[in-house]
Amino acid sequence: MDTTESIIFVSIFALAALLIALPRMLSRRERRRRDAVAGSESVSDADAEPAVSAVTEVPDADGPGPRRLRDRLGKSRAPFVGLRGRLKARQLDDEAWDDLEETLLLADVGVATATRLLDGVRDRARAQGLSGADGLPALLQAEIAGQLEDHGDRTLCLDAGRPNAWILVGVNGVGKTTTAAKLATRELARGHSVLFAAADTFRAAAADQLAVWGAKIGVDVIRGQEGGDPGAVAFDAVQAAGARGIDLVLVDTAGRLHTKVNLMEELKKISRVVERTPGALREVLLVLDATTGQNGLAQAREFAVAVGVTGVVLTKLDGSAKGGVVLAIESELGVPVKLVGVGETDADLVDFDPVEFAAALVG
């Protein structure tokens, strides 16, 4: 065999070996690909699990709604996490005070409220003769609770046996409809009967969304023609509640209207219409999205001035690092935060308690 012949022979042998091995290599590769796909599916299944269990969260035995605010505050605690660690074994010097101020501003309490809180903490530190910075978080916690406790009654008014109306106001997307569902769930569990009034007649989708919640939790919805008079819907709902012996009418309103129609005038009209049934108007709840922080305060002021707001529901506190805005709302609007929303299910509504909130935020 000369050299050329042996090269041809070796090439033929190599080609044959390749042809024999190729199907096996391909099938191994396909198996690896399939394993990878199956693996990634099981990873995404695992990822999806917490979301599913969050939706099916079991309410506490003593009523609906999670009770541990600390566990539900989520990102709101973020600015304060680590504060204790940073202040540990440190002198009570300017740097420590600056750290405390920065933390408050990060939590979106606003400059005016931060200054007032720091003044209060300084007074407490002086009175106690504090020399180390590690005592500051506890003093801040006490000061926050103290300032919040000054802001009046946080209960929601309802006298069973006659129609009570709670009107929910606020811009689109803040969580009015979801809050209506949460409130209905709570009141049903307390033995009260509930009716929804879909007074956002400007968006058919809004009434549809309320109807979906109504079907889910067993609450009837009074709704009107699209583009119809929202006041008429509220009026009909209060009348229907009177006729059917229903305790509570939750009135969901529009957050934005078509041009020319003034939202505040429309909301005033709704409350006037509800008041035609003497004593029926019990609460006007301003729903605010905590994730907007200080930016939400300007719109809140507008609503508070126009429609005699009796309380604030601060939603999405689970997804916001701006929980400190509670302090700004109360001191600037003079309206108590009555409830906080800490999730998207109808159980995710918590009574606002200043002492618990201060402990959950700073502790």
User: Site residues (CB under 6 A) for ligand GDP?
Assistant: 170, 172-178, 255, 315-316, 318-319, 341-344, 348
Question: Among all chains, which residue has been given the structure tokens 């109807």?
Answer: 211
Q: Quick one: 280 or 350, whose CB is closer to ligand GDP?
A: 350
Q: Quick one: 183 or 281, whose CB is closer to ligand GDP?
A: 183
Q: Quick one: 117 or 194, whose CB is closer to ligand GDP?
A: 194
Q: Which two tokens stand for residue 264?
A: 């505040």
Least distance in angstroms from the C-beta of 203 to ligand GDP: 9
Least distance in angstroms from the C-beta of 92 to ligand GDP: 37
What distance in Å separates the CA atoms of residue 289 and residue 300, rounded to the nearest whole number?
10
- Helix and strand counts by DSSP (H, E) for the chain: 13, 8
What distance in Å separates the CA atoms of residue 363 and residue 361, rounded to the nearest whole number?
6
Q: Quick one: 65 or 137, whose CB is closer to ligand GDP?
A: 65
Beta strand ranges found along the chain (DSSP E): 164-169, 194-199, 220-223, 248-253, 281-289, 311-315, 337-341, 349-351
342 φ/ψ angles, rounded to the nearest 5 degrees: -125, 30
Is the CB of residue 195 less than 8 Å from the CB of residue 210?
no
DSSP track, 294-336:
THHHHHHHHHHHHHT--EEEEE-GGG-S-TTHHHHHHHHH---
Least distance in angstroms from the C-beta of 137 to ligand GDP: 26
Least distance in angstroms from the C-beta of 350 to ligand GDP: 9
What distance in Å separates the CA atoms of residue 11 and residue 26, rounded to the nearest whole number?
22
Q: Quick one: 163 or 255, whose CB is closer to ligand GDP?
A: 255
Q: Which two tokens stand for residue 83?
A: 């504060």
3-state secondary structure of 78: helix
- E strand or H helix at 145: helix 136-149
Least distance in angstroms from the C-beta of 33 to ligand GDP: 37
Least distance in angstroms from the C-beta of 345 to ligand GDP: 9
Q: Quick one: 137 or 323, whose CB is closer to ligand GDP?
A: 323
Q: Quick one: 247 or 252, whose CB is closer to ligand GDP?
A: 252
Least distance in angstroms from the C-beta of 121 to ligand GDP: 30
Q: Quick one: 177 or 185, whose CB is closer to ligand GDP?
A: 177
- E strand or H helix at 21: helix 3-55
Of all residues in the shown chain, the one whose CB is closest to ligand GDP is 341
Least distance in angstroms from the C-beta of 357 to ligand GDP: 15
Q: Which two tokens stand for residue 93?
A: 């010097």
What distance in Å separates the CA atoms of residue 305 and residue 324, rounded to the nearest whole number?
22
Q: Quick one: 139 or 206, whose CB is closer to ligand GDP?
A: 206
Of 294, 342, 357, the closest CA to residue 72 belongs to 342
Least distance in angstroms from the C-beta of 179 to ligand GDP: 6
